[in-house]
Structure 1
Amino acid sequence: MLANVLLVLAVLSAGVVYGVDVFFAVVGRPALAASDERAIANVMAHLHWVADARMPTFGALAVLSTAAVAAMNPLGSLSSGLAIAALAGLLVQLGLYLTVAKPVNDAMKAATQQGTPLDNPRALQNRWDSVIVGRAIAMTWAMACLLVTGALH
């Protein structure tokens, strides 16, 4: 019973991150590419303020509950392997976020907080955009592995 609850928690929390990353890969990236630089700087800075405060809860829940699902299944079982594969996808997404996207978020937020215009909002957004498809793919992998794990139960 606990394993099923943890699996549901993993799917729901990872699903939030998955939805955000896929949305930005499919909709946000092309929309921002067509936007002017002042709009990019303003809107994305404010989105990052909110997202950076709220999204870590979902990401941490996804990682912890997925790791727990892996640990609760017999080592070497298909369910354990799939949960470990899902965890790998979550960690790839997190790594891309921490090394590429978060520094961009921080730069945009700092400029907004200080009331200073960014001199390179499009370059910053392009850097952020450079990993969003990879993040979405990693989250798609994680979600697929979690869902197949659930189907095996």
Structure 2
Amino acid sequence: MEALLQTLAVVATMANAVVYGTDVFSALVQRPAMAHVDDVVLTSAMGQTHRFGDRRMPIPGVFGLVATVATVAVAAVDGKAVPAVAAGIAAVSLVVWLALYNKVSAPVNKELTGAALECRTAPEARALQRTWDSVINARVALQALALGGMCVALATG
């Protein structure tokens, strides 16, 4: 059971680290860079970025969430309270992240992607980007909490 717990925790940590790293990059590099471009470039660059990101990022996201929840279950069944609670905190953080993404980020992504694919500038490109930017720090914090929880689960499992 211990090997299964450790394997699941490693998979969860690695998959969630992909999303965390992407969000950190967005907060530290992409956000300030996009503040210095015009609306045409903003629409095109972010639309294309979201076009590929929204297709590809669900893969590590799903693996991360499923492996995190499985870590909770295995740790609980094995009677390991600390890793179960730590992974549980991680799972809740990921669910909150997902809700925030779906409510705020995904609609912006869809609008900017649509505009980019139609080779037009989104009329509210700057406002859309501000909306997206408004939750990136919270997304980073939620992913950091999830990774921290999984690190505790790994260390104590």
TM-score, scaled to structure 1: 0.95
Aligned length: 153
Aligned twin of 2:92: 88
Deviation of 1:76 after TM superposition, in Å, equals 7.3
Aligned to 1:148: 152
What value does the CA root-mean-square deviation take over the aligned residues? 1.2
TM-score w.r.t. length of structure 2: 0.93
Gap change, CA 1:141 and 1:33, over 3 Å in 2? same
Match for 2:155: what amino acid?
A
Q: 128, 131, 139: which is aligned to 1:124?
A: 128
1:50 and 2:47 aligned:
no
Residue 24 in structure 1 maps to residue 30 in structure 2: no
| 1:3 corresponding residue in structure 2 | 5
Gap change, CA 1:36 and 1:117, over 3 Å in 2: closer
8-17 vs 105-114, greater mean Cα deviation = 105-114
Q: Distance in 2 between matches of 1:129 and 1:42?
A: 17
Return 5+ residue gaps in structure 2 as ranges: none
Instruction: Give identity over the alignment, percent.
Output: 35
- Structure 1 portions without partners, runs of 5+: none
Superposed, 1:134-145 pairs within 5 Å as 134-145=138-149
- CA pair 12-76 structure 1, distance change in 2 beyond 3 A: closer
* Residues in 2 aligned to 1:73 and 1:148: alpha-carbon distance in whole angstroms: 12
Aligned residue identity for 1:152: T
Distance between the aligned counterparts of 2:24 and 2:35, measured in 1?
A: 16
* Distance across 2 between alignment mates of 1:30 and 1:110: 23
Residues of 1 paired with 2:4 and 2:128: CA distance? 43
Counterpart pick for 1:70 among 69, 72, 77: 72
How far, CA to CA, are the matches of 1:41 and 1:111 in structure 2? 7
